[in-house]
């Protein structure tokens, strides 16, 4: 079954709506320049409810933060994973001791240095100059499909309720990651779109199995 990550959660209502829709993972963006940026204090309030609910794993999204800052944030909030969405090195990934995975903007060349021996192994996003994700631009599905034959990857980049079934069918990723594709405005999640996104993934899986 394809895992579903809904990223850029900013409020408790959005977190609960994402989980109710069927998200397996929810993501909090700690990059201050992102329209989806959320402060640690707010996430602490959200996590107190989400952790007790227990239906979804939680992911912190970081861009060029230090390993110490990431560890401190994860420990404070009780996050399950860190997503490194900047220009981090393999050494940075190792310093986080298996609790982090790398997000690539475009198809990477030196991927072997970044492979995580767990799921997801890494994330593939679109490559958009000047942006660290959340662009709404579709990733290279053909390139991602080749990588997905070897690795359990998360596919991001321009996914919507309208195209995600096709992405799952084409790429066959371990999971899919959506942010802007389920929003009514930047940083504002739409419960109806989140439900439609999850349903489209499940419907697409059924067609593939038929």
User: Of 68, 67, 60, nearest to 85 (Cα)?
Assistant: 60
What's this model's pTM, rounded to 2 decimal places?
0.94
Per-position pLDDT tens, the chain of length 210: 999 999 999 999 999 999 999 999 999 999 999 999 999 999 999 999 999 999 999 999 999 999 999 999 999 999 999 999 999 999 999 999 999 999 998 888 889 999 999 999 999 998 655 555 555 678 899 999 999 999 999 999 999 999 999 999 999 999 999 999 999 999 999 999 999 999 999 988 887 776
User: Of 56, 68, 67, 55, nearest to 27 (Cα)?
Assistant: 56
Counting Cβ atoms within 10 Å, is residue 52 exposed (0-12), middle (13-18) or buried (19+)? Answer: exposed
Q: What's residue 169's pLDDT?
A: 93
User: Of 125, 141, 142, 124, nearest to 133 (Cα)?
Assistant: 125
Domain positions in the chain are 3-209
Q: What's residue 196's pLDDT?
A: 98
Task: Domain 3-209: give its CATH architecture.
Answer: Alpha-Beta Barrel (3.20)
Cis omega before residue 120 (within 30°)? yes
Own/partner pairs for 188-193, CB < 8 Å, 24+ apart? 188/10, 189/6, 189/8, 189/9, 189/10, 189/11, 189/14, 189/17, 189/18, 191/17, 191/20, 191/21, 193/161
């Amino acid at each position: 079954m394809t895992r579903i990550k809904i990223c850029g959660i900013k409020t408790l209502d959005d977190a609960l709506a994402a989980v109710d829709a069927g998200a397996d993972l929810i993501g909090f963006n700690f990059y201050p320049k992102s329209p989806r940026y959320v402060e640690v204090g707010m996430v602490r309030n959200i996590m107190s409810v989400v952790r007790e609910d227990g239906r979804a794993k939680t992911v912190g999204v970081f861009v060029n933060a230090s390993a110490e800052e990431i560890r401190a944030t994860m420990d404070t909030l009780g996050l399950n994973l860190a997503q490194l969405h900047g220009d981090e090195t393999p050494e940075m990934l190792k310093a986080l001791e298996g609790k982090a995975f790398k997000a690539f903007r475009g198809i990477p060349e030196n991927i072997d240095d970044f492979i995580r021996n767990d799921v997801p192994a890494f994330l593939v996003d679109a490559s958009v100059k000047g942006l660290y994700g959340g662009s709404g631009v579709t990733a290279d599905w053909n390139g991602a499909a080749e990588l997905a034959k070897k690795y359990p990857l998360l596919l991001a980049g321009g996914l919507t309720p309208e195209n995600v079934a096709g992405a799952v069918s084409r790429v066959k990723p371990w999971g899919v990651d959506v942010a802007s594709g389920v929003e009514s405005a930047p940083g504002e999640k739409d419960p109806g779109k989140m439900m439609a996104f999850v349903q489209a993934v499940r419907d697409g899986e059924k067609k593939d199995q038929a």
